[in-house]
Amino acid sequence: MSKLKQALDTGEFVITAEVGPPKGTDVSQMLHHAQGLKGKLQAVNVTDNQSSVMRLGSLAGCHLLLDEGLEPVFQLTCRDRNRLALQSDLLSAHVLGIRNVLALTGDHVLVGDHPQAKPVFDVESAQLLQIIGRLNCGRDCSTKSGRDELPDGTELQGKTEFYPGAVVTPEADPIEPQLMKFEKKIDAGARFFQTQAIYDLDNFAEFMKFARQFEAKILAGILLLRSAGMANYLNKFVPGINVPDNLIAELREAKDRAGDDKKLAARNQLEAGIAIAARQVRSIHEGQICDGVHVMAIGLEDKVPQIIEQAGL
């Protein structure tokens, strides 16, 4: 059974994070980061060719985390696989002992390092959730009719027991399409959500009033800001993320304190970013706004324990 599901079902304030597999076969850094998270959170996502950049697969990464005694979340994108490969990878994951799956549509290949690759998108994330539900019921999604809707399928020799999750963007503007997708994913079988990065906690609390109509568990996305430049980039280029001016000013002030020392400026901004993330985690926990947090420290996974410690958890 999924330990993540058990923690959420018992009302425990859950903390998850993520590690990025290497672009190559040397997994030492990934495992070092993972070991630093052991005992400090309930589960660790393994990203799946994040931002369409080719890396070691999430399935292998999850298996390695299991060997290290960590509870993995298998991120699975529709961008790179048709429904045949998706189902095969899911069966493989289950046989290897993986029980948590985060269903993602995936970024387009044009934003990654292989823009010449052919995107698949045979199904999207809500349909992938339906596929996971069918596998949990002991049937695949095969059909002889040629029609696109998911059929009754063929009986499996052994069913899966996945805990299916999805993503939502509470700070999207307009928010209505996200709310529709949120409901669609719940109807398709999503039982937990890890959100896109949130910074406006009042706005997030309003989203939670809507989300609490449903039984799905919500983990608020906490993205570590390493600099004012990063914050400005997110605001300009990443839909659904809105870093407030006061937080950018806090990062800029940390930079200015270093004068012309670039290394000190980078260190000061990172420390300010860690403090911001820790405040967010603490506020969400103390306010009981949602069921937990998902900390994203892209490339700086070793800073996650520091964020958790500063948050007082």
For the chain, domains (ranges, CATH) are 3-226+288-310 (3.20.20.220)
Please list the ranges in the chain whose pLDDT falls under 50.
Answer: none
Residue 111, pLDDT score: 78
Distance, in Å, from the CA atom of 293 to the CA atom of 311, rounded to the nearest integer, reads 12
* pLDDT tens-digit map of 166-181: 999 999 989 999 999 9
Phi/psi zone of residue 8: left (φ > 0), alpha (ψ -120 to 50 degrees), beta?
A: alpha
Residue 91, pLDDT score: 98
Distance, in Å, from the CA atom of 258 to the CA atom of 284, rounded to the nearest integer, reads 31
Coil, strand, or helix at residue 165?
Answer: strand
| End-to-end Cα separation, the chain, in angstroms | 25
Distance, in Å, from the CA atom of 233 to the CA atom of 242, rounded to the nearest integer, reads 10
Find, among 252, 313, 263, the residue nearest to 283 by Cα.
Answer: 313
Q: Please compute Rg for the chain using Cα positions.
A: 20
Residue 198, pLDDT score: 94
Under DSSP, the state recorded for 22 is P
E-strand spans in the chain? 14-19, 43-46, 72-77, 100-104, 163-168, 192-197, 217-223, 292-296
Residue 299, pLDDT score: 84
pTM: 0.93
Q: One-letter amino acid identity for 188?
A: A
User: Is the CB of residue 73 less than 8 Å from the CB of residue 44?
Assistant: yes
Residue 275, pLDDT score: 96
Residue 285, pLDDT score: 97
Q: Is 209 exposed, middle or buried (0-12, 13-18, 19+ CB in 10 A)?
A: exposed
**41: CB partners within 8 A, 6+ apart:** 14, 15, 16, 17, 295, 304, 308
* pLDDT tens-digit map of 208-219: 999 999 999 999
Residue 149, pLDDT score: 56
